Amino acid sequence: AQSVTQLGSHVSVSEGALVLLRCNYSSSVPPYLFWYVQYPNQGLQLLLKYTTGATLVKGINGFEAEFKKSETSFHLTKPSAHMSDAAEYFCAVPSNFGNEKLTFGTGTRLTIIP
Amino acid sequence: GAGVSQSPRYKVAKRGQDVALRCDPISGHVSLFWYQQALGQGPEFLTYFQNEAQLDKSGLPSDRFFAERPEGSVSTLKIQRTQQEDSAVYLCASSLNRGNQPQHFGDGTRLSIL
């Protein structure tokens, strides 16, 4: 079954600095990968979605992610952090090819320092 | 409605009581998912419906957990004889159909078992 690993359960960056949140998938190239964001006491909101063939994926709120097969990675970045970006971020992958259920990473809590 | 609606938002129950959590998906969405999110963790898959058919219930932790979607729209997750370890946020998500359609999440029901 597919899985994802998120390195760093907590990340702190200064306002205006680069945001980098890490996600690595298990060895098989997945057909899809997702990044979701969760604000306190809310459900998950889709940030962006990777589909086979894409490399750089642009999402909402200025976020983007680069798919690197050689590194089995799908890291999330944003050039300049805003206070409103403070939230929990989850990387997710379909558990099995053709199966819709998602397997989530353990999440990264992003804190923005004023 | 415009999004996935879950009720109640908060539920407190005494150990041993039965609870029922409701999910109203986005109109027209064929697929419906339930996830359990423990404190500080990523969501974990419980069960999946396509229309009224429950196609996967492999994530249900015990036979105390039961889910239904009798008319292919609203779904109910029922937990019988609740235990303290059932305390978590229960998230419902819906999507248009199989494949790469992203899942849209509700705000969840926070269940606390005393």
pLDDT per residue over A50-91, tens digit each? 988 878 999 999 999 999 989 999 999 999 999 999 999 999
Q: How far is A104 from chain B (nearest CA, A)?
A: 6
So what's the pLDDT on residue A32?
86
Which of A37-46, A60-69, A91-100, B99-108 is least confident?
A91-100
CB spacing of A106 vs B102 below 8 angstroms: no
CB spacing of B43 vs A90 below 8 angstroms: yes
Per-residue H/E/C for chain A: CCCEECCCCEEEEECCCCEEECCEECCCCCCEEEEEEECCCCCEEEEEEEECCCCEEECHHHCEEEEEHHHCEEEEEECCCCHHHCEEEEEEEECCCCCCCEEECCCEEEEEEC
Q: Tell me: the pLDDT tens digits for B74-90? A: 999 999 999 999 999 99
CB atoms within 10 A of CB B3: 14
Whether A5 has its CB under 8 Å from any CB of chain B: the answer is no
Total residues found in chain B within this entry:
114
Confidence of residue A95 (pLDDT cuts 50, 70, 90): confident
Is the confidence at residue A28, as pLDDT, over 70?
A: yes
Provide the mean pLDDT of chain B: 94
Q: Which of A41, A101, A107 sits opposite B33 (nearest CB)?
A: A101
So what's the pLDDT on residue A72?
92
Buried b (16+ CB within 10 A) or exposed e, A10-27: ebebeeeeebebbbbbee
Higher pLDDT pick, A51 / B98: A51
Interface mutation vs chain A, best among B4, B107, B111, most A CBs within 10 Å: B107
Residues of B in contact with A101 (CB under 8 A): 33, 45, 48, 56, 59
Nearest CA-CA partner of B46 in A26, A28, A95: A95
Is the confidence at residue B71, as pLDDT, over 80?
A: yes
Is the confidence at residue A27, as pLDDT, over 70?
A: no
So what's the pLDDT on residue B101?
80
So what's the pLDDT on residue A96?
73
Provide the mean pLDDT of chain A: 91
Residues B10-30 have a mean pLDDT of 96
Report chain B's terminal Cα–Cα distance, integer Å: 33
Size of interface A-B (CB pairs under 8 A): 60
